[in-house]
Structure 1
Amino acid sequence: MAELNGRPVTLDELQTLALTNYGSFTSLRVDDGRVRGLAMHLERLVRDSRILFGVDLDAEHVRELTRKVAPPEGSTTIRVTVFDPSTDLGHPDRATAPHILVTQRSAGALPLPPLSVQSTVYERDLPEVKSVGLFGTLHHRRIAQLNGYDDALFVDAEGAISEGGTWNIGFFDGDHVIWPDAPALPGVTMLLLQNVHEYRTARITLADVGRVQAAFATNAAIGVRAIARIDDVQLLADHPIHDILRKRYMDVPGEPI
């Protein structure tokens, strides 16, 4: 299912999104008509629209359009994409009227199996924005998968860890949950976990990975997913911290759409 501003989207309208790749999005996991951190998802769409289009998005309208396609029972993943169908490659300054594309797909069962990730030197454009421009992310994910890993982990030239392509990364050193102090998208799942579990932020490099007990990935679609390997370093995929964080995240009450 795909609707633009509450009606079926046309191929011509999607063509602009495909050819210009300019806009932002958020992905929501809907369980029985409720979304954990819904207000945060909406706030991010509003913030990103100011950055990309210079306008204030109507968050309540986005909520109404999402409610329209969300089933009242069961679990599904809904993506809300904000883009301007009139965007022109030569004049992106004229893209000031964003539209709202709502799409739906099935939600996977949780928890997902542990990840293995390969580090790569890369930083997304405007890392604070959840952009539809995924070329770099998919390219590095593809290379990692061709090398036998599940996904890519982004680091800077000095090996400081920031984030995964579509997820945040956290670590556990035996005493504390640690989130990297680096340019990255402040994911909603990460922010919700920070609200319910003590943590600290620190610069974490690849050289530090061998000294932590566990690592995990987070986003709305996967919740909390264990990371079993970073490059050649094996980590405990069954560390108790994963179940602790999963429970605390699942205990966060969902907001009705």
Structure 2
Amino acid sequence: MTTPPATPVTTPDGELPPLHIEVDGEPAADPDLLATLMSGYGHFTAMQVRGGGVRGLGPHLDRLDRATRELFGRGLDGGRVRALLAGALAAAGRRDASARVYVYEGARTVVTVRAPYPVDRTPQALKSVAYWRPAAHLKHLGGFGQTFHGDAARRAGFDEALLTGGPDAEIAEGAVTNIAFWDGTSVVWPSAPCLAGVTMALLAPRLPSVSRRVTLADVPGFRSAFVTNSRGIAPVSRIDDTVLTVDEELMARVYAAYEAVPWDSVEGA
């Protein structure tokens, strides 16, 4: 019996993988790995590490597993991720760091470690843009739109872009943050499609939270707002031309809720 030829593996855009790759005129040390990284198809999670621990490590590992199952049809063992993260931190000689875990086709896992981001609670000015991330529930790669709009917002004198969509500019999230509004009684998380960030997920049950539809027209009716991501939490001082009060009492409550979250050891118990 004649064995049929193997079907070549293609990249997400249907292209065959390259036979040869050069970087700045030099052959890549591992062309297969570089081709995987260049595909731009995958997902990741970002976290701050302090003293070898991460706030919400479990949700980070769950996120990686869920996204790997959705994108690649297989799970990602949390114990393996922990071991890779611990190994990367040890190799970098760091117990405090900003770390990312990227996952690509075949569950190939890449860990990056850099210096930790300092706490920055500077009030943020946001510029609204008409853009929603595709497959917004995933922390996926290929964030050209986010980077494009974020850079344009900064050139215009803002700190970040605020992603909105639809005819009435429904608010979803920031370019790299979740956003929450304070109505005097509840913390309101927009219900439009967005990434359920780990910091948001840790805060929401510790604050009087609700999720509902929010549009740009609703913004003047809120008392204040704040943004969250893996680097921390900051108040919002302005959205477009609408000035928002920085509610120090609210922010103290939000910071205290977040700081009450325990640090989970990367190395395990």
Please indicate the TM-score interval, normalised by the length of the shorter structure.
0.7 to 0.9
- Cα RMSD over matched residues? 1.8
What is the aligned partner in structure 1 of residue 185 from structure 2? 175
Q: Is the 8 A contact 2:89 2:95 kept in 1?
A: no
Gap regions ≥5 residues in structure 2 = 1-27
Aligned residue among 169, 181, 186 for 2:196: 186
Moved segments of 4+, more than 2 Å: 9-19, 69-75
Residue aligning to 2:100: 79
Taking the TM superposition and a 5 Å limit, the aligned residue runs for 1:176-255 are 176-221=186-231, 223-255=232-264
Give the drift of 1:174.
1.2
User: Aligned pair 1:23/2:42, yes or no?
Assistant: yes
Corresponding residue number in structure 1 for 2:17: none
Distance in 1 separating the partners of 2:199 and 2:239: 21
Check the 8 A contact 1:130/1:185 in 2, yes or no. yes
TM-superposed deviation, 1:239: 3.0
Percent identity of paired positions between Structure 1 and Structure 2? 36
Q: Is the 8 Å Cα contact of residues 113 and 225 (structure 1) preserved in structure 2?
A: yes
Cα distance in structure 1, aligned partners of 2:157 and 2:207: 33
TM-score by length of 2: 0.83
In structure 1, list runs of 5 or more residues that go unmatched.
1-8, 85-96
Rounded to whole Å, the distance in 2 between the matches of 1:153 and 1:21 is 24
SS at match of 1:70: helix
Question: CA, structure 1 residues 13+217, in 2 after alignment: closer, same or farther (shift >3 Å)?
Answer: farther
Aligned with residue 156 of structure 1, among 165, 168, 173: 165
Contact residue 34 and residue 254 of structure 1 kept, 8 A = yes
Say whether the 8 Å CA contact 1:121–1:154 is kept in structure 2. yes
Cα separation, 2, equivalents of 1:14 and 1:239: 48
* Superposed displacement of residue 226, structure 1: 1.0
1:238 Cα offset (Å) = 4.7
Shift of 1:69: 2.2
**Equivalent pairs, count:** 236
What's the CA shift for 1:13? 5.1
Q: From the superposition, tell whether residues 151 and 171 of structure 1 become closer, same or farther in structure 2 (CA, over 3 Å).
A: same
CA contact (8 A) 1:29 1:107 kept: yes
Q: Distance in 2 between matches of 1:237 and 1:181?
A: 23
Distance 1:10 1:125, change over 3 A: farther
Q: Which has the larger radius of gyration?
A: 2
Alpha-carbon offset, residue 12 of structure 1: 3.1
